[in-house]
Chain A
Amino acid sequence: MIFLWAFLVGGVMCVLAQLVLDLFPVTPAHVLVLFVVLGAVLGGVGLYGKLVTLAGAGASVPLPGFGYTLVTGIGEAVKVKGILGLLTGGLTAAAGGIKAAVLFGLFAALVFKPKA
């Protein structure tokens, strides 16, 4: 079942993003920023967690999942370290993804040449 929900939820989220892009005078970068912030807010009120339970990668692969990761990381860090967790939790939880993105990004940019 989770495979079906992953497709549906992931697809619908991309549809919403496409509608924002087509109906408002914004660039894709604006849409990405908006959706990360939305993911953080929805994660904060507990809704995004339910979506992740339902749809798995359908909710964690689109960019709002990144905002959700940051917020849940803060939640876990505050439990352990108290208020300092507000500063350390987000990046700790997202560290793997961010570091992978920088490393793979640098590697790809050095190895490959642009086509056009």
Chain B
Amino acid sequence: MADQENTQRVRAYQELVKSRRPSKPILKNVIYAFFVGGAICEVGQWIQWGFMQNGMTAKEATSPTTVVLIGLGALLTGLGWYDKVVKHGGMGGTLPITGFSNAMVAPAMEFRSEGLVLGVGAKLFTVAGPVLVYGLSAAFVVGLCRYLLTGVA
């Protein structure tokens, strides 16, 4: 009996905690993510358009566009500006490739005091490491499935 009462009390307390916890401003976050993420992609599209004016096809222009955006992301992170983009834009700042660049540079800068090898060298891959591991593995599995099903990948 006492046990049951206790469980009930714990549950009631958990409900109370839940109701008092400040709710995440999901709607605001989503709106900011949309405009920040959309704007970064728009910049990317202009850069890609610029490369295409020099005779590249859309497909050829994708890789240099990515390189330019990664460079911009690293530069803005170094200047301390990209952190503000992520702070307001959330995943709108993190999901584009500029945010990937930010996720590499920011920890590497921060852990520079731990040395060039285990500080900068290792921390560059704090986020990039998992992304590469699972991205490459997933791409391999997808490619293998297509190879087995169709003979070409």
Binding site for B on A (CB under 8 A): 2-3, 6-15, 17-23, 28-29, 31-33, 35-37, 39-41, 43-44, 55-58, 60-63, 65-67, 69-71, 73-75, 77-79, 83, 85-87, 89-91, 96-98, 100-102, 104-115
Contacts and interface: CB of A to CB of B under 8 A. Distances in A.
Interface residues of B, number: 81
Given A13-B95, A62-B97, A71-B142, 17 more contacts: A14-B34, A15-B33, A15-B37, A28-B94, A33-B135, A41-B142, A44-B142, A57-B62, A58-B41, A60-B62, A61-B96, A61-B97, A67-B139, A78-B147, A105-B74, A110-B112, A114-B80
Chain B contact surface mostly: helix
B91 A104 contact: no
Contacts of B4: none
B2 to A, nearest CB: 32
Contacts of B143: 44, 71, 74-75, 78, 85-86, 89-90
Interface in B49-104: 49, 58, 62-67, 69-71, 73-75, 77-80, 83, 89-92, 94-101, 103-104
